[in-house]
């Protein structure tokens, strides 16, 4: 009986201090030019991959002083849990290049980068469920 209470106490202590993993909410542009909920990514491994990719490209962000004629096909937000007060939710957008070999990744409100490597493929696959085209 005492062992039972000790186990319950340990489980409660572990759960109360457990770190929570952020989630990613994705919206997709429809034919009317509006974004609709598309998917939510809750798999900790996939979320961590996306966060790691975004962390790796921090030095490659450019100031977005360009007016874009195309509208990004996907938007995604990394929703940090309330316990992580130091981080705000981060909003990103993906615009495929015309040949779909690379993507323009926007970090709102005012940054962008161009990606066409393995990380771009991984990011697109996790966020959209689609793949980039093979270079011709």
Residue 68: pLDDT band with limits 50, 70, 90: confident
In this prediction, residue 10 carries a pLDDT of 40
- The pLDDT value given to residue 85: 53
CA dist 62 and 83 (Å) reads 31
Across-strand partners of 91? 77
Model confidence at 136, pLDDT cuts 50, 70, 90, reads low
Tell me what the mean pLDDT of segment 24-28 comes to: 97
pLDDT(4) > 70: no
Domains of the chain by range and CATH? 20-128 (2.60.40.4400)
Q: Which helix (H) or strand (E) holds 1?
A: none
Neighbours of 22 (CB within 10 A): 20
Q: Phi/psi of residue 93, each to 5°?
A: -140, 145
Residue 21 reports pLDDT greater than 90:
no
Mean pLDDT highest for which of 16-30, 53-67, 96-110?
96-110
pLDDT at 44: 94
């Amino acid at each position: 009986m005492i062992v039972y209470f000790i186990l319950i106490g340990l489980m409660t202590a572990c759960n109360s201090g457990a770190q929570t993993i952020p989630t990613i909410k994705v919206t997709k542009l429809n034919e009317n030019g509006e974004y609709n909920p598309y998917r939510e990514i809750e798999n900790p491994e996939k979320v961590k991959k996306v966060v790691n990719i975004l962390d790796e490209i921090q030095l490659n962000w450019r100031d977005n002083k360009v007016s874009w004629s195309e509208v990004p096909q996907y938007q995604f937000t990394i929703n940090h849990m309330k316990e992580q007060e130091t981080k705000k939710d981060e909003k990103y957008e993906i615009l495929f290049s015309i040949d779909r070999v690379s993507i323009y990744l926007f970090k709102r409100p005012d940054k962008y980068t161009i990606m066409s490597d393995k990380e771009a493929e991984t990011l697109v696959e996790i966020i959209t469920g689609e793949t980039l085209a093979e270079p011709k």
